[in-house]
Structure 1
Amino acid sequence: MPRLTAANLRSDSVHLRGFSYERDAVTPGIVHLGIGAFHRAHMAVYIDDILAQNPEWGIIGASLRRPDTKDALAPQDFLYTLASRDASGTRCRVIGSILDVLDANTQRQQLLDIMADSKIHIVSLTVTEKGYCHDPATGELDQAHPDIVHDLAHPSEPVSAPAIIVQAIEMRRQSGVAPFTVMSCDNLPANGETTRRIITRFASLRDPQLAEYIRENVAFPGTMVDRIVPATTDADRQMVKDIIGLEDAWPIMTEPFTQWVIEDRFPQGRPPFERVGAQMVSDVEPFERMKLRMLNGSHSTMAYLGYLGGYQYVSEAIADPIIHQLIHGLMTEEAMPTLPMPRADLERYRDQLLERFANPALKHRTWQIAMDGSQKLPQRLLGTIRDRLAKGEEIQRLALGVAAWMRYVTGIDEQGNLIEVKDPLAARLRAIADAAGRDAERLASGLLEVSEVFSADLRADPVFRTVVTGHLQNLLANGALATAKAVG
């Protein structure tokens, strides 16, 4: 079967929607670092809609770690299929907004030169929490991170996202080109401010004058991004091939729902995001906090409990009345009261989330969501817990999410099988678990000492320690579903 390419693309199929612009006329205006599945299901789709009217906003993508995205998309002119799935079926469209993908490991100077070009107005990121080389518990740059140590010693050969951005800004400054806007699209609390703080701190360690220039001239708008994007499987590739009649090496699976809230701070200009469904606001924080605490906090809790309970997919987990009740209660009783938004809006969002979780066509694996928990917990659960503890309020369901993570990172499931724990701290977490055995108090105490996850105030809080340890004891003794049922 022929490969998906510009020459082979035919949009006359009722199952396939192609782009409606002349792709040869598109010029790049955005460089995106971290050209993974989420970006291709979210921002690249919004830009694809924009290009019909504004062809100067094409995307140059960059892979910072592995060349697999470039290798998959280059033979197909960087086109790919977006497959939106729900119970009613699958709808496919081909996305053409990505003009090129660079491998930063082998094309570093080319990437920097493009970022330094005056036609680039925005550099955006989806590098996941760990890509910021920061301490998730504090949000500050981790100056001991190996990539940061390397980048301070070799500023013209950067490997980390913060250092690549700083080097490109310095190149523009030296040539008299105004700096681009830096737009994080990752699930970080106050992602714009956090990115600004990390980048200016790195710059200050490299050159205080450069840091001052960045503080005075570079904008870091905050964003809230929302779309569920499972990992693509071989079965997905076959399904897409059957629908479009072309071979696509890396199609993207997603849901119909998509949301993007953006702070309107782009001094060097921006695409008309509002024309294609994005919401432009002066302050993204309330939306971001709502999403982190309701969607992401629920997702992580459900992933750990669901995986331990034997559920491979989120839709299976939320279909269990025990987990459904727990997640409904977590959002309603513990997360929503911490959010400064109208109760009716939060209830609608909650109900919408529960419906999205239950989408049977979206094969979102609990194991995938469980990845990198040490990076995710501070944003998704611990901030909510901290706020509730400060008011003397209950944290039973939120603390169960933390305890379920502790049980998960032991690396042994409830049937005695190995869990492939994907986490930057996996070896260290497993060593703590092995030393503690099935002693819940030792295990909880050991993991609470991991300062990259738990800040000093939480480690010292007797209520937090007691509730988490109690849940962990029940998880070890009775299993995930029985413990979730008891919490309710």
Structure 2
Amino acid sequence: MKELNRKNVSTKALPVKILQFGEGNFLRAFVDWMIDKANKQGIMNHGILVAQPINQGMADLLEKQDCLYHVYLEGIKDKKPVKEISLVESIQHAINPYTSYEVYEKCFLSPELEIVVSNTTEAGIRYEEGDDLNAKPPKSFPAKVTALLHQRYKAFNGAADKGLMFICCELIENNGSTLREFVIRHAEVNNLEAAFIDWVKNANYFYDTLVDRIVPGFPKETINEIKEEIGYDDNLVVKGEYFHVWAIGGDPVIKEKFPLDKAGLNVLFMDSIKAFRDKKVRVLNGSHTAMVPVALQMGCKTVMDAFNNPLVEKYINKMVAEEVLPAIDEDPEELKKFAAKILERFYNPYIKHYLETISLNSLSKWETRDFPTVLDTWTKFNKLASLTSFSLASLLVLYSGKSKIDFVANDTPEHVVFIQQNFNTADVEASVKAILGNKQIWTVDLTQVTPLVSEVSKMVTSILNDGMEDALKKVFENKKLASEIGK
């Protein structure tokens, strides 16, 4: 089997126009894969220099293969299985700034550099008090950016056309805006010149983004078969789902400089990603969070197991169609198309997405992802979103320790203890009232939806007495009766 390197593969050298902080599976199967596609179609001509954000990383492994690797995608498109295998050639070099600081600095000061991409994990965009801007490099990501921008500002005498575009992929809200805020704060605390701060604000762009693709990573279990299939000894294969979407919000100049959408990729440019984020969170993440406690208590282990169960499949599809989408203020037909693409991913047999993994921190997830549907349905239509509320009842039973399955909640310990200590099967309504009224567990008042306590209590009682399957069937029947009464 051939080694994977640029001696055995004919590739074209690309000018390094992108500095990327992060060398992990997600960026390589998402951003670098997209840039590679655009390069090969002649839409872009952008090489990438990858820099490890921390001292331990994969730069050496990438360099060992001359930064070449395959992305192996499997999924469902238009209800049919699809597979795509791509050799990604966009990364030109990978370095460790802690051992190759001069190479890293040279890239940042290059006139060719236009864009900085980052995925430094949720903990990466943080403000670290006292971070030394003169260190080589500073410790935190925002301090690294501040130091390098200051050097670039001085190298080009504050030229307006030498600012950079920062495209952040960290999974936090307002990722680019937050990075900008912390860079300015570091500059101010370190008494850097006011003209530099103005240059940061006016010559550089910081974009908020939302990324979405499931990337399990290196396919350890099947790597030998995959190597045979691709014909190379590739030890950096990244496996992911076929679906992808990247929403980028901010100044429209990004469209010309980073035209990934013209390569047929699902990249969306918009002034603000807030509305798109809210929609995606309610439909995709809200469905996941609602499904987990129901499906687990019906014996399912993975998302695929859940959607192979006709009752769970019906539950999620009905919840999205009848409660989630009507509560979102957008064109109904466009919402249906959006939801169809999202929910199609649940049928992907190639990705093992474990429900117990998704269940991490379900209390806060339910509040941010599912309660908005319950609240909007109540305030806009004066009725209870009963299917969405059923997921809360299921979650309370799952966390209570009274469920019929063995389950250990992976959540804030004191919140789980409170639920278990206050869950009294002899007085379910008092228990639900105490739990929903706990201001330490919830950051919003769930009881502002007047019927929530009483209706969730009835659902909890039904789950305990009838079992999850029959309880869910009762919710379907009650919703149908309520609909007929309303006619």
- For Structure 1 versus Structure 2, the TM-score category normalised by the shorter chain is 0.7 to 0.9
Q: How far off its partner does 1:180 sit?
A: 1.1
Larger RCO (CA under 8 A, 6+ residues apart): 1
Q: Which amino acid aligns with 1:344?
A: E
Report matched runs for 1:61-76 at 5 Å: 61-64=50-53, 67-76=56-65
Structure 2 residue corresponding to 1:348, chosen from 337, 342, 349:
337
Q: Which amino acid aligns with 1:433?
A: V
Q: Which amino acid aligns with 1:273?
A: L
Q: Which amino acid aligns with 1:154?
A: D
For residues 467 and 63 of structure 1, the distance between their equivalents in structure 2, rounded to whole angstroms, comes to 52
Structure 2 residue corresponding to 1:320, chosen from 309, 320, 326:
309
Q: Which amino acid aligns with 1:215?
A: K
2:251 pairs with 1:274 = no
Do the aligned partners of 2:389 and 2:456 also contact (CA within 8 Å) in 1?
no
Do the aligned partners of 1:28 and 1:99 also contact (CA within 8 Å) in 2?
yes
Q: Which runs of 5+ in 2 are unaligned?
A: 424-430, 477-487
Q: Which amino acid aligns with 1:270?
A: K
Larger-Rg structure: 2
Structure 1 residue corresponding to 2:291, chosen from 281, 286, 302:
302
Q: How far off its partner does 1:57 sit?
A: 1.3
Sort the Cα spacing of 1:91 and 1:398 in 2 relative to 1 into closer, same or farther, 3 A. same
Q: How big is each residue's C-alpha offset from its partner over 1:200-227, in whole Å with a ceiling of 9 and x where there is no partner?
A: 5565555584655433332223444333
For residues 316 and 372 of structure 2, the distance between their equivalents in structure 1, rounded to whole angstroms, comes to 17
Q: Which amino acid aligns with 1:240?
A: I
Report matched runs for 1:22-421 at 5 Å: 22-23=11-12, 25-52=13-40, 53=42, 56-64=45-53, 67-86=56-75, 88=81, 90-103=83-96, 111=104, 114-133=107-126, 148-149=127-128, 151-157=129-135, 158-176=138-156, 178-189=162-173, 191-193=175-177, 195-197=179-181, 199-200=183-184, 209=194, 212-263=198-249, 265-266=252-253, 270-278=257-265, 279=267, 281-285=269-273, 286-303=275-292, 305-307=294-296, 309-371=298-360, 380-381=369-370, 384=373, 387-388=376-377, 391=380, 394-399=384-389, 415-416=405-406, 418=408, 421=410
Q: How big is each residue's C-alpha offset from its partner over 1:127-163, in whole Å with a ceiling of 9 and x where there is no partner?
A: 4444434xxxxxxxxxxxxxx33x5343444333333
Q: Which runs of 5+ in 1 are unaligned?
A: 10-20, 134-147
Q: How big is each residue's C-alpha offset from its partner over 1:334-358, in whole Å with a ceiling of 9 and x where there is no partner?
A: 3223433321111122223222210
Do the aligned partners of 1:54 and 1:271 also contact (CA within 8 Å) in 2?
no
Q: How far off its partner does 1:43 sit?
A: 1.7
Q: How far off its partner does 1:474 sit?
A: 6.0
Sort the Cα spacing of 1:259 and 1:436 in 2 relative to 1 into closer, same or farther, 3 A. closer
Q: How far off its partner does 1:255 sit?
A: 2.9
Q: How far off its partner does 1:66 sit?
A: 7.4
For residues 402 and 217 of structure 2, the distance between their equivalents in structure 1, rounded to whole angstroms, comes to 23
2:439 pairs with 1:439 = no
Do the aligned partners of 2:36 and 2:89 also contact (CA within 8 Å) in 1?
yes
For residues 171 and 468 of structure 1, the distance between their equivalents in structure 2, rounded to whole angstroms, comes to 61
Between 155-164 and 26-35, report the one with greater CA deviation: 155-164
Do the aligned partners of 2:399 and 2:419 also contact (CA within 8 Å) in 1?
no
CA RMSD of aligned residues (A): 4.1
Q: Give the alignment's TM-score, normalised by structure 1.
A: 0.75
For residues 105 and 398 of structure 2, the distance between their equivalents in structure 1, rounded to whole angstroms, comes to 40
1:144 aligned residue: none
Sort the Cα spacing of 1:400 and 1:262 in 2 relative to 1 into closer, same or farther, 3 A. same
Do the aligned partners of 1:185 and 1:224 also contact (CA within 8 Å) in 2?
yes
Do the aligned partners of 1:113 and 1:168 also contact (CA within 8 Å) in 2?
no
Sort the Cα spacing of 1:351 and 1:417 in 2 relative to 1 into closer, same or farther, 3 A. closer
For residues 388 and 197 of structure 1, the distance between their equivalents in structure 2, rounded to whole angstroms, comes to 36
Q: How big is each residue's C-alpha offset from its partner over 1:52-102, in whole Å with a ceiling of 9 and x where there is no partner?
A: 336741222344357454354332222221112146464322111122334
Q: Identity rate of aligned residues, in percent?
A: 22
Do the aligned partners of 2:212 and 2:244 also contact (CA within 8 Å) in 1?
yes
3-state SS of 2:205 partner? coil
Do the aligned partners of 1:400 and 1:471 also contact (CA within 8 Å) in 2?
no
Do the aligned partners of 1:83 and 1:251 also contact (CA within 8 Å) in 2?
yes
For residues 372 and 343 of structure 2, the distance between their equivalents in structure 1, rounded to whole angstroms, comes to 22
For residues 265 and 37 of structure 1, the distance between their equivalents in structure 2, rounded to whole angstroms, comes to 28
2:428 aligned residue: none
For residues 373 and 215 of structure 1, the distance between their equivalents in structure 2, rounded to whole angstroms, comes to 38
Structure 1 residue corresponding to 2:440, chosen from 429, 434, 449:
449
For residues 332 and 144 of structure 2, the distance between their equivalents in structure 1, rounded to whole angstroms, comes to 42
Sort the Cα spacing of 1:202 and 1:393 in 2 relative to 1 into closer, same or farther, 3 A. farther
Sort the Cα spacing of 1:219 and 1:348 in 2 relative to 1 into closer, same or farther, 3 A. same
3-state SS of 1:317 partner? helix
For residues 345 and 393 of structure 1, the distance between their equivalents in structure 2, rounded to whole angstroms, comes to 24
Do the aligned partners of 1:183 and 1:220 also contact (CA within 8 Å) in 2?
yes
Q: How far off its partner does 1:181 sit?
A: 1.0
3-state SS of 1:51 partner? helix
Q: How big is each residue's C-alpha offset from its partner over 1:403-440, in whole Å with a ceiling of 9 and x where there is no partner?
A: 76677788998643556x4xxxx5xx124424553534
Q: How far off its partner does 1:328 sit?
A: 1.5
For residues 387 and 190 of structure 2, the distance between their equivalents in structure 1, rounded to whole angstroms, comes to 44
Q: Give the alignment's TM-score, normalised by structure 2.
A: 0.75
Q: Which amino acid aligns with 1:416?
A: D
3-state SS of 1:221 partner? strand
Sort the Cα spacing of 1:109 and 1:164 in 2 relative to 1 into closer, same or farther, 3 A. farther
Q: How far off its partner does 1:112 sit?
A: 5.5
